[in-house]
Structures are given as C-alpha cells and as structure tokens.
Amino acid sequence: MEEIVIQVNANNVWDYLGEGFGDIAVYDSNVIESIGFSPPILMNAPSDKRRAIYPENYEYIERLIQFSSESRSLAFINLRGFSFPYKKIEVSVKVISLDKNVSILRWKVDIKLTFWTFFYIKQQYSKAIRKHYRTQFAELKYYLENDKQKRSSNVSDYNFMLLFDY
C-alpha cells in the first residue's frame, strides 16, 4: 500500500481521479492523449474503460472493476500496455479526507506475472509497474496543488518502460 498527501479537498481529488477516470491527459503530463470509452458497466461509473497514449506510442487500456463515489474508491485492471509477460495488474485506489483541504490518496498495485518470468526479472518488472502508477498519482497531486497546471513533460522519466520492450 502506498499513499501521498494532497493539499486539496477529497471531493476535488475524486472529481479528477474517479469521475474523470477516462481523461487522465487532463493532469498527467506524460500522457499525450486519453479518452474514456464504452458505456459504463458498473453503476454510477463515468466510463468502463480508458485508453491513454504515452510517449513512443505506448498505449494503455484499463478497465474499471469497482467504482464507488460514496466511498471515493475504485479499482481497475490493465488490459493492455506493459510489454512484458503478466497475467494481471490490478490497481485499487481510495481518496480519504483528512480535513477540509487535505486528503490522502492511497493505492495498492497487485501484480501477477507469468510463471515463466525469472525471479530477478519479476522484481524489475514489478518495480517498473509500481513506478508507472506512482508517477501517475504524483502527476495528479502536482496538477491539483498547482492551480491545475500540468508539470512540464519529462519524457526521460518515462523511458524506463521502454527498457522492457521485446
């Protein structure tokens, strides 16, 4: 479980993270384009899937598997995006209110790589996946705490994913 403190009201954080699930390009400077698509399967969800294009035309498709505006929590799985062998990547996220203008964004990344992946490589893949989501949530924090200004894109930070291409 990881978390960051965001100096913004929890409802405002949820507006971008939950209600804006399909459009992470609004706040993530590493995302070139994003869109939410398909009618929501989950009740009250903004969209069922999202597609994000990152540098080098990396395309990620993620699908909601749990969504609750009441508890400000969601979970999604990665359907496509990482170029190494994995069975499942599931991310659970919750926004918690500390006080009127402070919230905690807490997340957990559950990674199941294929059986045939060597131990050392499994560790490297897991680190890369966790870094991807840590970066994504840090981008949201920066955006919300800086008058909704995106960070200058730093593509070099994102090139770690390209190390794992086959």
pLDDT in tens, 70-107: 999 999 998 876 656 677 899 999 999 999 999 999 99
What single-letter DSSP state applies at residue 59?
E
Q: Which long-range contacts (CB under 8 A, 24 or more apart) does 45-51 make?
A: 45/21, 46/18, 46/19, 46/20, 46/21, 46/22, 47/21, 47/22, 49/22, 49/79, 50/21, 50/22, 50/23, 50/24
The first and second tokens of residue 4, run together, are: 């960051």
Please state the pTM of the whole predicted model. Answer: 0.83
> Can you give the pLDDT at residue 159?
46
What is the rounded CA–CA span in Å between residue 135 and residue 123? 18
Which of 45, 3, 52, 58 is closest to 25 using CA atoms? 52
Residue ranges per structural domain of the chain: 2-164
Q: Is the pLDDT of residue 57 over 90?
A: no
> Could you say which architecture CATH assigns to the domain 2-164?
2-Layer Sandwich (3.30)
What percentage of residues in the chain have a pLDDT greater than 90? 39
